[in-house]
Amino acid sequence: MFLWFIMPFLAQSQSVGYDKLTFKFTPSSLMSLTSPAWQFGLEYRPKKSFGINTEIGTNLSGLRYGFKCLSCSGEQYYHTNYKWRQEFRWYITPGPNPEWYFAQEVFLINDNYRLRNGLSKQDSISYHFERAEYSRISFGTASKFGVLYNFSKNTRLEIFAGLGIRLHYSNVKLINEKKIGMISSGDTAFDRVRPNTTEIWPHISAGFKLGYVLWRENERTKIK
């Protein structure tokens, strides 16, 4: 997050008008340890002080990109995910460079895994499975503050951070499983697939986006 500290030292400039439509890419989404994804989106600003930002993402499982599932057990041989984020933002300082904003976001994340030769604990009973299908759905909301920097006529850098909550639902389907009794106390939740469960967790939202302006609304200024 050192970007927060170096940006104020960059030369500032006053802009005429505002970005009406911007294409965005979120590199920080690729850095997620639990659900990395290539995430793209569009922001439309119907007026200078208000914007609607919509993004979708996927890990492109066909390219075999992604980290090992931290809450899974056994060999992970397939993983695909999909993300959807809808954000409504209010610009606190619309126009000048940089632009500060407050945003409220809702999101939906769906991860699907296929596993071989692992352990699962279901209803206090432990199983060894030959194969398993594990799905995880997260739905939530977050309040964020961010800043938008104008590097040139069309290029943008955006940094944001915020907090929220998420509803987390996990579902496991075991194939050719065998009951083995209790898992030893030395094992942790990360050594086995989570049981079917619904949980509420705090959500941390932080990252950065790169943008390219597709449409800019020019403002007429009065000459005194």
* Residue 54 Cα distances to 199, 210, 220, angstroms: 26, 14, 29
For 77-124, where are the alpha helices, taking DSSP H only?
none
In this prediction, residue 118 carries a pLDDT of: 83
Burial of 34 (0-12, 13-18, 19+ CB in 10 A): middle
Q: What secondary structure letter does DSSP report for 183?
A: P
**pLDDT tens readout for residues 187-214:** 544 445 566 778 899 999 999 999 999 9
Whole-number Å distance between alpha carbons of 171 and 81: 15
Whole-number Å distance between alpha carbons of 167 and 26: 23
In this prediction, residue 27 carries a pLDDT of: 95
The neighbour count for residue 104, using CB atoms within 10 Å, is 15
Percent above pLDDT 70 for the chain:
78
Relative to beta strand 75-91, strand 50-58 is antiparallel
In this prediction, residue 12 carries a pLDDT of: 47
Q: Which residues pair with 199 in a beta bridge?
A: 168
| Mean pLDDT score, 26-31 | 92
Whole-number Å distance between alpha carbons of 79 and 139: 19
Relative to beta strand 99-122, strand 75-91 is antiparallel
Whole-number Å distance between alpha carbons of 124 and 135: 20
**pLDDT tens readout for residues 120-159:** 777 677 888 888 888 889 999 999 999 999 999 899 999 9
Does the pTM exceed 0.85?
no
One-letter amino acid of 46: P
Task: Output 82 or 6, whichever has higher pLDDT.
Answer: 82
